[in-house]
Structure 1
Amino acid sequence: MSNQSSDATPATPTAGLHLTPSAKRIAKTVLNGFDAYFADFQNMTLGAKARFETHNWLGVQEAHRERIELYKHKVDQVCKLVRGVTSKNVLDLNIWQQARQAYALLVSNHSNYEIAETFFNSIFCSLFEHQQIHDRNLFVKPSKDQSYKQLSDYTIYFSYSAEFGFENLIHRVFDDYEFSVPWENKKRDIDFIVASINTHLMPLIDYPLSELRVDFLESIFYRNKGAYLVGRAVHGDFITPILIPFHNNEQGGIYADTLLFDRDSASRVFSFTRSYFMVDAPIPSRFVKFLSSIMPRKDISEIYNAIGFNKHGKTEFYRHVISHMKNSSDKFVIAPGIKGMVMSVFTLPSYDIVFKIIKDRFDPPKKVTEAIVKEKYKLVSRADRAGRMADTQEYSNFIFYRNRFSDELLDELQNVAPSKLIITDKLVIIKHVYTERRMTPLNMYLDHASQQQVEEVMDEYGNAIKQLAAANIFTGDMLLKNFGVTRHGRVVFYDYDEICLITECVFRKIPEPRNEIEEMASTPWYTVGEFDIFPEEFRLFFSGNPAARVAFEEKHKDLYEASYWQSIQTELLAGQINDTFPYRRHLRFSPNR
């Protein structure tokens, strides 16, 4: 969805507006298109269980990409249908104002009305090329308050009493959530889980177990090679997450890998750096409400993204941005850190998001084009981000109030990206922009880090590079400024203009010089192909920070070897999919498995 001025008219449709037959047909066509999209989305999602049980990991990746592409395919399809259901001018705003009102009536009792309204917005934006964005034409604001969906409506989880002990409770859970594939060792895993509960959860409980309730969502969450049972322990106002990740040993057995029971762990599982889950959620808003109860700090836009409804997550995020701007007064400024060659980045100090604009011209030695940069960002959205790349949202015609921009920022944008701007006395309209979670740039983090923090974060940096490589992503430019540090201390890559697939690269060792002239040459005397990568040169990324280099080389010196990368390539070309864990390996019941 595109943006518009924050002084949009109220969400209530224009009173007394006459609904023509054309407007009604358009509304019905869009709603039919949404229902068809949602049904296809659910059918793709329902296949996740079989893919997990048959360890069809390549199928998992293919389904993930296809489900993301499904939305655009359906929007394009419905746009064509809309043009065919009326002889009137389909770009007549009066018709769309009527269609919006007719649509609001059609979805008023729809269980997923809010996502259906986002779909309507997508059709409108596609036809009008992200122009004319106003609440009288589409749903800038929701048509009604989502709080009307009361907790009493919940039928999406099973509740278990702890009255007869946790061993009894977990036995019942394993029986209820049994897979079509046998357990590897059911008793062992139940013992592991109960022991973990006794060690970590029981010290928090100072009341009879009969008063404790455990709720588990009825649907299992599938992502990559894992399946997650998501729940919560509840006693009065006390709520704590309980997540059980399951894995398939690929020899006919399912096992529980660990038990996660705190909000930070749950937040990492549902992180913005992870691929979207496949979960059977017939009414996503109810799942979002449940997940918000165990992760209250996480914005609902991020939760919608996590369960695969990223287009509606984009809508919710936009609404959150507008709300924040209405309730704050600070100005947008140039984001801290070294300025990029491709992107101009700015932020609002009171809001943990950055806005990224592609510059009109790129500084040497960058050779990419704007079209290539956009394709790189699209690649990230469809790839396995392995917990190491930030999710982004793409917007057109994002409108801000001019008085919220610092003079320095406005001068910067007018200098590097004038073609992306429309500036009036009151507004700054950015024609194309990406949004992304704000993090501390790694180079800046190192400037104030203790020796222990340096060692830990450089280990994280190396792990990020390796885990992305295992997911078939080569980061290209590994400069420290292109990585960020999250509040959990996790290192995340966020500069995508040079990424490519590992399988497209040619990793080479620098040839030995044959004579003194070659040895002293200031430029390579050997041929360098377009896709050639020389890992020995990665040492240059630490120029100016010898302490970081030493810490990095203690654990990740193998990244300097072409043979390391070639081995990763061989595994990927053979179809091998590696495990990725949204929790520390030491938390696993069998960390050396």
Structure 2
Amino acid sequence: MSNVPHPANSTSNALLTPSAKRIAKTILNGFDAYFADFQNITLGAKARFETCNWLAVQEAHIARIELYKRKVMQVCSLVKGVTSKNVLALDIWQQARQAYALLVTNHRNYEIAETFFNSVFCNLFNHQQIHDRYLFVKPSKQEDNKQLREYAIYFSYSAEFGLTNVINRIFDDFEFSVPWEDRARDVRRMVDAIEQATLALQDLPTNDMRIDVLESIFYRNKGAYLVARAVIGDIIIPVIVPFQHNEQGGIYADAILLDGDSASRVFSFTRSYFMVDTPIPSRFVKFLRSIMPRKDVSELYNAIGLNKHGKTEFYRHVIQHMKRSDDQFVIAPGIKGMVMSVFTLPSYDVVFKIIKDRFDPPKKVTEVIVKEKYKLVSRSDRAGRMADTQEYTNFIFYRNRFSTELLDELQKVAPSKLIITDKLIIIKHLYTERRMVPLNIYLAKATDAQIEDVMDEYGNAIKQLAAANIFTGDMLLKNFGVTRHGRVVFYDYDEICLITECVFRKIPAAQNEIDEMSDRPWYTVGEFDIFPEEFRLFFSGNSTARKAFEKRHADLYDYRYWQTIQDELRAGKINDTFPYRRHQRFART
């Protein structure tokens, strides 16, 4: 990761070998083919929404995630066939990188194309030899703002003739192929909401307003989202309109979201990726940052389904943060996990998770199983209740940034995952995840009102994940976190499974006093048996939290509640999940 000059700027195209050029062309062709297929899967979202084909929505989500790896593997095979040279010789890749940088100079998605090149290289070299000589640790050039002017990704509407006129024009331009449930009602509600929002902002006149609407609708799960911004002078107001299908032939606006926090929740790291037609994704990301300036670029690339490039952007962001900071990585606060060792940098709101070499009893899972659980999360509807993760191989850190306590801990619990030199620590495999306040730590300092709210959130998280066919398994409070928005999110995945795989049972009554006094179950327990009555044990030592939980969610102790969820899932029911508060939804009449 040294700051060497970019070879593309110092080497003539004439000096590149034929093999290097062929490798570069093969990879770029592979990227273009991947991006075309990615877009084609995405473009089907409109029809899936309009026909209420929710099962196809889930299938498309999985297919699009798996597409990237499949295309990279295809290109790796092709690369080996386009040259008679040793494809693992580093000198040929130094030239291939130069040739590729020249090829993508005018490519409108050069940054994502470079990530694809990186993926091919890393696959062939088993994530070793990571250096800017051979792949794009840094982008080959800065963003081309001229290209942004030449391709407008949004439509602008002036409110000079009134908001009702503007909203009607927007609805005309972004009309669905099925009728509105009640268009006049929805227009009226949106106008009222925008006027109230502008009144709260120093009574700004709406006739001076301009509304910029992104050219493509965002689709996810059972919702469609129009994403825009209202501009009045120097003030920018997010405008997000979630549409729902009543499944009886009508579309309706379910809400209008007009603040940064609500927009951030819609694009949260706890939700599935959007399906949105983005011919130039970097331009969409730039627009989204104008309404959510606190969002990192990597999160927004993840949100629109380009999670591999989001991973690249995150890695670059870590490198930049390390240059700007001097604090040390430390063991993450909270109770240590039995499967994962977790550390963090106090100045950076991310945790790094390493699978231990050996698991503390009573854990019986294996490392392979844990990796499969994390893979399941990436392909599931996270329902706004599970944190997104990124998986890295051979992640490089500077040794002097690790606290002695942390390094001792990692050498003790995961020595096989470490390569340690005088200057570097290379972790062979890790996951990154947004840092949150562990629920058990949050409760220790919470007021009574906060306990009431957060335990309601805890119960909602369990129920919403269950409706998405995810059973959290280990529901200990330490395995849930609290976000800056006060939402409770699950983040420990080694015990998760599908709800439909579980067997929910009532504990049989004891037959005699000997059974009651026994420290072992007097009944048979199968591998997949779950006894919801035992969930009370997760509150041991915190009776206040338990009482707040039981006030609203005591039904989770009843095995019949879980069996009802199973019946719905097996019948093909896909539940609604809303990335905004209930009180923000328009009333249905």
Equivalent of residue 161 in structure 1, options 158, 162, 165: 158
> What is the aligned partner in structure 1 of residue 482 from structure 2?
485
5 Å-filtered alignment, 1:17-416, equals: 18-149=15-146, 151-204=148-201, 206-416=203-413
Separation (CA, whole Å) in 2 of partners of 1:467 and 1:83: 47
Amino acid at match of 1:15: S
Amino acid at match of 2:40: N
Deviations 1:97-119 (A, max 9, x none): 11100000110000000000000
Equivalent of residue 559 in structure 1, options 551, 556, 559: 556
Please, which moves more after superposition, 417-426 or 14-23?
14-23
* 2:528 is equivalent to residue 536 of structure 1: no
Separation (CA, whole Å) in 2 of partners of 1:586 and 1:156: 32
Q: Is the 8 A contact 1:473 1:501 kept in 2?
A: yes
Separation (CA, whole Å) in 2 of partners of 1:12 and 1:208: 53
Separation (CA, whole Å) in 1 of partners of 2:283 and 2:202: 28
Q: Secondary structure at the match of 1:146?
A: coil
Q: What is the RMSD of the two structures over their aligned residues, measured on CA atoms? A: 1.2
> What is the aligned partner in structure 2 of residue 16 from structure 1?
11
Percent identity at matched positions? 78
Separation (CA, whole Å) in 2 of partners of 1:40 and 1:16: 33
Amino acid at match of 1:355: F
Amino acid at match of 1:226: G
Amino acid at match of 2:529: D
Q: Is the 8 A contact 2:198 2:205 kept in 1?
A: no
Against the structure 1 CA distance between its residues 492 and 195, is the aligned structure 2 distance closer, same or farther, given a 3 Å change threshold?
A: same
Against the structure 1 CA distance between its residues 11 and 237, is the aligned structure 2 distance closer, same or farther, given a 3 Å change threshold?
A: farther
Please, which moves more after superposition, 171-180 or 443-452?
171-180
* 2:561 is equivalent to residue 572 of structure 1: no
Deviations 1:54-108 (A, max 9, x none): 0000000000000000000000111011111111111011111111000001100
Separation (CA, whole Å) in 2 of partners of 1:391 and 1:252: 34
5 Å-filtered alignment, 1:480-559, equals: 480-559=477-556
TM-score under structure 2 length normalisation: 0.98
Separation (CA, whole Å) in 1 of partners of 2:225 and 2:146: 26
* Higher RCO (Cα < 8 Å, 6 or more apart): 1
Q: Secondary structure at the match of 2:383?
A: coil
Amino acid at match of 1:166: L
Deviations 1:384-409 (A, max 9, x none): 00000000001011111110000000
Separation (CA, whole Å) in 1 of partners of 2:5 and 2:546: 56
Against the structure 1 CA distance between its residues 115 and 102, is the aligned structure 2 distance closer, same or farther, given a 3 Å change threshold?
A: same
Q: Kindly state the Cα deviation for residue 12 of structure 1 after the two structures are TM-superposed.
A: 4.2
Separation (CA, whole Å) in 1 of partners of 2:512 and 2:204: 80
Q: Is the 8 A contact 1:201 1:261 kept in 2?
A: no
Separation (CA, whole Å) in 2 of partners of 1:367 and 1:202: 59
Q: Kindly state the Cα deviation for residue 281 of structure 1 after the two structures are TM-superposed.
A: 0.4
Deviations 1:115-135 (A, max 9, x none): 000000000000000010000
Please, which moves more after superposition, 520-529 or 331-340?
520-529
Separation (CA, whole Å) in 2 of partners of 1:566 and 1:378: 26
Q: Is the 8 A contact 2:8 2:99 kept in 1?
A: no
Against the structure 1 CA distance between its residues 308 and 185, is the aligned structure 2 distance closer, same or farther, given a 3 Å change threshold?
A: same
Q: Is the 8 A contact 2:195 2:206 kept in 1?
A: no
Q: Kindly state the Cα deviation for residue 450 of structure 1 after the two structures are TM-superposed.
A: 0.2
Q: Secondary structure at the match of 2:156?
A: strand
Q: Kindly state the Cα deviation for residue 8 of structure 1 after the two structures are TM-superposed.
A: 4.4
Please, which moves more after superposition, 229-238 or 12-21?
12-21
> What is the aligned partner in structure 1 of residue 472 from structure 2?
475
Q: Secondary structure at the match of 2:226?
A: strand
Q: Kindly state the Cα deviation for residue 197 of structure 1 after the two structures are TM-superposed.
A: 1.6
Q: Is the 8 A contact 1:348 1:354 kept in 2?
A: yes
Q: Secondary structure at the match of 2:101?
A: helix
Q: Secondary structure at the match of 1:395?
A: strand
Q: Secondary structure at the match of 1:70?
A: helix
Q: Is the 8 A contact 2:391 2:431 kept in 1?
A: yes
Please, which moves more after superposition, 150-159 or 285-294?
150-159
Separation (CA, whole Å) in 2 of partners of 1:270 and 1:126: 30
Against the structure 1 CA distance between its residues 149 and 263, is the aligned structure 2 distance closer, same or farther, given a 3 Å change threshold?
A: farther
Q: Is the 8 A contact 1:11 1:140 kept in 2?
A: no
Q: Kindly state the Cα deviation for residue 10 of structure 1 after the two structures are TM-superposed.
A: 3.9
Q: Secondary structure at the match of 2:549?
A: helix
Amino acid at match of 1:198: E
Q: Kindly state the Cα deviation for residue 515 of structure 1 after the two structures are TM-superposed.
A: 1.4
Separation (CA, whole Å) in 2 of partners of 1:588 and 1:280: 26
Separation (CA, whole Å) in 2 of partners of 1:16 and 1:61: 47
Q: Is the 8 A contact 1:9 1:134 kept in 2?
A: no
How many residue pairs get aligned? The number is: 587
Q: Is the 8 A contact 2:8 2:102 kept in 1?
A: no
Amino acid at match of 1:270: F
Q: Kindly state the Cα deviation for residue 14 of structure 1 after the two structures are TM-superposed.
A: 7.3
Separation (CA, whole Å) in 2 of partners of 1:8 and 1:503: 52
Please, which moves more after superposition, 196-205 or 369-378?
196-205
Q: Is the 8 A contact 1:390 1:436 kept in 2?
A: yes
Separation (CA, whole Å) in 2 of partners of 1:9 and 1:567: 61
Q: Is the 8 A contact 2:11 2:98 kept in 1?
A: no
Q: Secondary structure at the match of 1:234?
A: strand
Separation (CA, whole Å) in 2 of partners of 1:314 and 1:467: 27
Q: Is the 8 A contact 1:8 1:134 kept in 2?
A: no
Against the structure 1 CA distance between its residues 58 and 566, is the aligned structure 2 distance closer, same or farther, given a 3 Å change threshold?
A: same
Structure 1 residue runs of 5 or longer lacking an equivalent are none
Deviations 1:282-304 (A, max 9, x none): 00000000001000000010000
Amino acid at match of 1:225: K
Separation (CA, whole Å) in 2 of partners of 1:236 and 1:142: 34
Separation (CA, whole Å) in 1 of partners of 2:151 and 2:455: 45
4+ residue stretches of structure 1 with deviation over 6 A?
none
Q: Is the 8 A contact 1:162 1:211 kept in 2?
A: yes
Q: Kindly state the Cα deviation for residue 202 of structure 1 after the two structures are TM-superposed.
A: 3.2
TM-score under structure 1 length normalisation: 0.98
